[in-house]
Structure 1
């Protein structure tokens, strides 16, 4: 799958010094479609009815949420891996 992109110069300060580097970044990104429109799109591409697709998408989201809540990652080949992530600021002591 190709992704439209443009090349832009950005400032990189990660090494402690200012460097200007060129990065590939996403080009024009269209407005996201909602689940209803996605189900309609899939209905046109497949033999499934919109109601079936909507039900499957709803159940998929619920199942992924449930699995993530117990620490289980979920991989769907061709789509991606869903996993929990946690970040925080650093502290001087654990309290």
Structure 2
């Protein structure tokens, strides 16, 4: 199942029950996210969603990506959509 969100896009693999992240903002990537990783990122962003300076996330633990406060909220919304894809 494809997801094209505001900040991220990728494809959910129902058989493997994981999300393949293909794009973050305008950066192309190829990362697999398990449900526990998604929850950790979501919880962290929810705690910091009101930070006026935004947050920095990294791709491959090397490439920093600055997220504004508005982009954090958009990413939270995208992650909520992905969470619904995971089977309970």
Scaled by the length of structure 2, the TM-score of the pair is 0.34
**Rg (Cα) greater in structure:** 1
Instruction: Identify the structure with bigger relative contact order (alpha carbons < 8 Å, sequence gap 6+).
Output: 2
Scaled by the length of structure 1, the TM-score of the pair is 0.33
